[in-house]
Amino acid sequence: MLKDILRRSTANWQATANPITDLDDDERNGLLGVVIPRQALAELITRPRDTTAIANLPAAVDWRNMNGRNHVSPVKHQLNCGSCVSFCTCAVVESAVSIATGAEIDLSEADLHFCSAHGAGCGGWWPSDAIDEAGRRGIPPEEFFPYPSAFDEAGNPGCRLHPDRDKQLYAPTGYSTLMSTAERKQWLATRGPVCAVFHVYDDFFALSNEVYRHVTGGHAGYHCVEVIGYSDADQCWIAKNSWGADWGDGGFFRIGYGECGIDDTSNDRDPDGSLNRFPMHGVEGVRLPGGWRSFQLSVEASASTAGTVTAVSRIPNSMELWWVAPNGSVQGAFWYEGGSWQTYEIGGPGSASPDSGVTAVSRIPGSMELWWVAPNGSVQGAFWYEGGSWGRYEIAPAGSAAPGAGITAVSRIPTGMELWWVAPNGSVQGAFWYEGGSWQTYEIGGPGSASLGSGIAAVSRIPGSMELWWVAPNGSVQGAFWYEGGSWGRYEIGGGASAAPGSGIAAVSRIPGSMELWWVAPNGSVQGAYWYEGGSWQTYEIGGPGSASPGSGIAAVSRIPGSMELWWSAPNGSVEGAYWYEGANWSRYEIAPAGSAAPGAGITAVSRIPNSMELWWIGANGSVQDAYWYE
């Protein structure tokens, strides 16, 4: 009968039998678990809102394929229970984490629905209440409380708290109530999926893969789903349901604009006559559990396995990353809190030597500078100012830098930048820029001072001073210092054979009166040295022989004054870390297993806020890998 009615209508969709239509009316209606707060909605509708169409929004959005990435978790089944609001809430949080970090997570709907203030029952809920409760309690992984395990033999749900629940919680930091279609589309185009509520009629249960528009059938209830996109061409919202993958279009469906209370253009009404124009809810952000998480930032073969990677965080809620591709192009990626990583190209094929070092600084929050070595040995630079596009320039001509040379930079004051690299004759070259002037070059160490494959590192511990280190051809670790008003001075930290000729080198100044330095020795041990004002350099060992690949990059940050973190790649391709807290010894751990990093992989890190660290390295498959940590 439904098929006949649809055939005679203008709905352009067909009814299809499925496991949901096989249920009786009570079982079907039991899936619809939304409790509508009519008074609160009436107050929301009276508030001013943006109804103006947003310029330049895409005509279609689908978070299953956003720049080649899928940020929508797999379809699940809520079984014979009205827990759709919890399924939608978990789905939106899962998408938000995927967009922000690239990580794929699976959250426990059972914990949210049966162990929270909602109570251990299959009654309904409202999205903002569920998001509030998820923010208050957090949501653990599905494996801590699998949804099917919540039900006893009679089908009654209960709560079970995993003993490690509080160690693995994902908590929304807030939500936005999206009243107008303009607000919804802007959020979907720029932020991610949202929770949506709509009125379900009996004909909806038989939907297949066309755009749903209500034709016939009585009131069944109200349902909550994750809206993952829209299509102006089809005049519809795209959504993920929670009735299993054998319903609809593999568990997904499309519903027309203005249908069944789904948006602010709807004229749908409740059986009591109330107008149905339900808001959508977007999660503002997600507080992540402590510990390390990792994901692949760029695809295979996007980065030269002989190259390096560098990063800055110019403002606390943003990170920028750059590397060299196998074709010599210079690639970049950026992340802003609440968004996903976006990639772009600064220099086309042949811009950089595939084994080139790359370095960057942000001297002021609204600007970034980047440098690398070209195949002809010239030193190239690029700059960006907020509101503009990237510009390019040359600092030193062809033949100035050795192929594969290390390169490093600091900005000791907001109006100045300093840059150093190794020349083909093994000399150590420098360049400086002060606002209002042009780049000037000079020599710190003459021919034969540095190994041609040497890493090079620098810090500015106070505005009136700079320190620089590199590896000499004999494996000694060399240093140079500059104090305002004086000239460069030289010294040696580690004697001959202290460092592998191609060793990476890293440094931090965690407090103004101290500096720390690390490198890889010829036997693969990880060596460190420290200096405190008024004393001399002291050396020590963090990792014994065989700990690091002799050509490994090495990266370090000091996220708080009383702590330091260090990372490198091991001979088996694992990524290793070490940390130090004031008053304690160095401790070791593994971030990524064997085979994760390319031999001699470039590696870099930033700490954009005191309770977080982000680490990147070149993967064995030529991808860029990312690992992040939140306290």
Catalytic residues: 84, 223, 241
Would you list the DSSP string of 251-290? TEEEEETTSTTSSTT---B-TTS-B----EEEE--EEPPS
Residue type present at position 572:
N
Strands 526-532 and 236-240: unpaired
List, in sequence order, the alpha helices (H) in 46-180.
84-101, 109-114, 127-137
Give the H/E segment covering residue 422.
strand 416-422
Tokens of 404: 């594969």
Closest CA to 309 of 628, 625, 68, 566: 625
Q: How far is CA 384 from the centre of its chain?
A: 22
Closest CA to 34 of 108, 89, 95: 89
Q: How far is CA 124 from the centre of its chain?
A: 33
List, in sequence order, the alpha helices (H) in 388-489.
none
Q: Are 194 and 281 in contact (CB under 8 A)?
A: yes
Strands 505-508 and 514-520: antiparallel
d(CA 417, CA 437): 11
DSSP character for 144? G
SS3 of 537-572? CEEEEEECCCCCCCCCCEEEECCCCCEEEEEEECCC
- The CB density around residue 158, as the number of other CB atoms within 10 Å, is 13
Q: Is residue 494 classed exposed, middle or buried when 0-12, 13-18 and 19+ CB atoms within 10 A define those classes?
A: buried
In 3-state terms, the chain is what percent helix, strand and coil (to 5)?
15, 35, 50
Residue type present at position 229:
G
Closest CA to 379 of 416, 419, 438: 419
List, in sequence order, the alpha helices (H) in 74-139.
84-101, 109-114, 127-137
Q: How far is CA 121 from the centre of its chain?
A: 36
Distance between the two ends of the chain, CA-based, in angstroms?
Answer: 59
Helix axes 127-137, 84-101, angle to 10 degrees: 60
d(CA 504, CA 498): 13
3-class SS of residue 46? coil
Residue type present at position 170:
Y
